[in-house]
Amino acid sequence: MAKKTHDMTGKVCLITGATSGIGKATAKGLAAAGAIVVMVCRDAARGEAARKEVAAASPVEAVSLLQADLASFDSIRGLAEEFQLGYNKLDVLINNAATIASERRETVDGIESQFAVNHLAYFLLTNLLLDRLKASAPARVVNVASIAHRGVSLDLDDLENKKEYKSFRAYGQTKLANVLFSYELARRLQGTGVTANCLHPGIVRSNIVRDMMAPISFGAKFFGFLMLSPDKGAATTIHCATAPELEETTGKYFVRSAIAPSSKESHNEKLAKRLWEISAGMVGL
């Protein structure tokens, strides 16, 4: 949990990937600060166990659960609809869920799984909830990206890596997409009172990091002690979601709760605009 979490009493926060790791730790931190926390999970049983754990940290016990498969556009649309039926405002949207796949596979919509879950789910859910965010302004969108966005580029003609699939490179490309999306979203939201920022949480002992390092399990065990706990990994997300001084800060990339430079490629506005257009077409917006 972040050392300094600002009062969030009455603030509605929606968090994807909240069953474990950084997402659950983020939910705990926000719940402890008095927020009304809505956790999104894929598995109902695991989600309910996590919800109870998070609720125990909440002084107001305002923690609920919504089930959705972020690898399905229909499921994401259902999630957005269910949320809006249940809540009349949205103060903070945290896009946190991510996956990594050692082999290329496609979702029910025929999209490469990492690109679908790690980028298009962020893009679609955010756009579906934009009106609610604007009506709740000042509001925030916080996208959990990664330092893995560095050292990769996007081929707009092969965003799904059909020509050649390399797991970690594909992951890095989705994280670059997160940063590009955050910056373009911030530009489009100027003057609305809704901010959009992204972050690198650190190298955290989480399911996704274990999946990444599975081929080098010895290395994972050897370097595991250098990784952050989920609570420490959630600190930057919580800072971006709660810090009063960031109310008007938008279009930034954060590391260790401070603004940091992102890759040169992430600042390519032409690329960001084209990625937005292509993404909108892929999700049917």
Q: Determine how many CB atoms are found less than 10 A away from the CB of residue 204.
A: 19
Question: DSSP code of 229?
Answer: P
Closest CA to 219 of 199, 203, 201, 200: 203
In the residue annotation, 171 being an active-site residue is answered as yes
Which of 87, 122, 165, 171 is catalytic? The answer is: 171
- Nearest CA to 275 among 145, 167, 199, 183? 183
- Check: CB of residue 96 under 8 Å from CB of residue 22: yes
- Write out the E strands in the chain: 12-15, 36-41, 63-67, 92-95, 139-144, 194-200, 253-255, 258-259
Q: Positive or negative CA dihedral for 184, 95, 33, 231?
A: negative
Cα–Cα distance for residue pair 62/196, rounded to 1 Å: 25
Query: Three-state SS for 255?
Result: strand
Distance CA 36, CA 56 (A): 13
Q: What are phi and psi of 113, to 5 degrees?
A: -60, -40
- Residue (of 94, 96, 93) closest to 230 by Cα position: 96
* Enzyme catalytic residues: 171
